[in-house]
Amino acid sequence: MKRIKVNNSEKDLLKIQPEVIKTLENNGLVVYPSDTVYGFLASAKSTEAVLKLINVKRRPFGKPISVFLPSFESINDYVYTNTKQLKLLKQLLPGPFTIVLDSKHQVSHYLESEKGSLGIRLPDYKPVVNLALGFGSAITATSANISGKGPHYTIDSFIKTLSQKRLDQIDLIVDVGKLPFNKPSTVLDLTEDSIKVLRKGDVLLEEVGRFKSESPKQTRKIAEFLYKNYFAKVKSSSVFVFLEGDLGAGKTEFTKGVGKAVGVSEVVSPSFVGFYEYQLSNPDKFHNLIHFDLYNINDRSELDYFNIESFAKGRNLVIIEWGQKIKGLIDKLKQSATVFYIQIIYENKNTRLIKLNQ
């Protein structure tokens, strides 16, 4: 077993990528960081490598293992998709989802379910994406742990769970220190007409455009996901996000999630001043984040004072809490900006339904 310690950065992981790829090409087993937890990587097409993984993980035979794919374009090389499924995949990937579809049997059969389905992943984590592209083929995407036990966020905690015999079967461990505490990916089965959630992660999807949050942290995670997969994909205009929801539904938590995605470390609620403006460090996407809170605004003259329409010029990301107060502005803004409308519905003390409309 060889252990390499590097920083958890795209640049540093890229430097050791040739060694990781060589190990995979030689049917080796690698422990590597992901967007969620440390995972076991092996060539998905090598039965020898997959059996080694199953043995170390003590995974029961017949229990499927998902795979990282090299690119979105490679999806149809490994699984069957129809027009409806492909449309949903374009909205979800890259992201913290494992998608189960009918396999084309291009990987070791030990990775597939008894029904012949295969779980695929395209993470929002550049080191894994670069690695899969460099390897040029599917790589296993399963957590580095003993089957049935919890995932690991540090290599030291992982090593403590294995005997020396099993450690010796691991060819390479890439240690980037402690990973952020994220849940494993949400697993969605799309083999039937309706979406079936097989495992809950930080981003819970009920159906297209409908997400469920069970905590403030999940609300922030959903906001980050929507930013990366929807808002940031708008290339040539300002983006306005109208947030509608009752008091305490989680509108500010949602805005904090967007703030984190664009590099704003602390979003402060502007309830008493109307709005705050944050200059962003990545002007290639958006120049500024503007956060409005209209809760205390009831007079039309106050709204006129803010001149919200002026932020449609240039390249701004505008989040408006209590957006229902100015619904009449949406059609006007659509003439020069891209508008998203999000409802955050209070279901009970812990659960919120987040609905996206565009």
Is-contact 20 131, C-beta < 8 A? yes
pLDDT at 194: 86
For the stretch 147-159, pLDDT in tens is 888 899 999 999 9
Quote the pLDDT of residue 302: 72
Whole-number pLDDT of residue 283: 63
Angstrom distances, CA of residue 149 to CA of 47, 57, 155, 161, 162: 24, 10, 15, 10, 12
- Would you say the pTM of this structure is higher than 0.75? yes
What's the CA angle centered on 7, arms 4 and 8, to 5 degrees? 105
CA–CA gap between residue 231 and residue 220 (Å, rounded): 15
CA distances 71 to 77, 206, 275, Å, are: 10, 25, 40
What pLDDT score does 205 carry? 81
Segments in the chain below pLDDT 70: 283-284
List, for residues 32-56, the tens digit of each pLDDT value.
Answer: 999 889 999 999 999 999 999 999 9
Domains and CATH numbers, the chain: 2-199 (3.90.870.10), 204-357 (3.40.50.300)
Q: Name the DSSP class of 103.
A: B
Q: Are 342 and 230 in contact (CB under 8 A)?
A: no
pLDDT at 306 (0 to 100) = 85
Joined together, the tokens standing for residue 284 give 């290639």
Q: Can you tell me whether residue 212 is helix, strand or coil? A: strand
What is the Cα–Cα distance from 306 to 320, expressed in whole angstroms?
Answer: 12
Q: What are phi and psi of 186, to 5 degrees?
A: -75, 130
CA–CA distance, 301 with 170 (Å, rounded to integer): 67
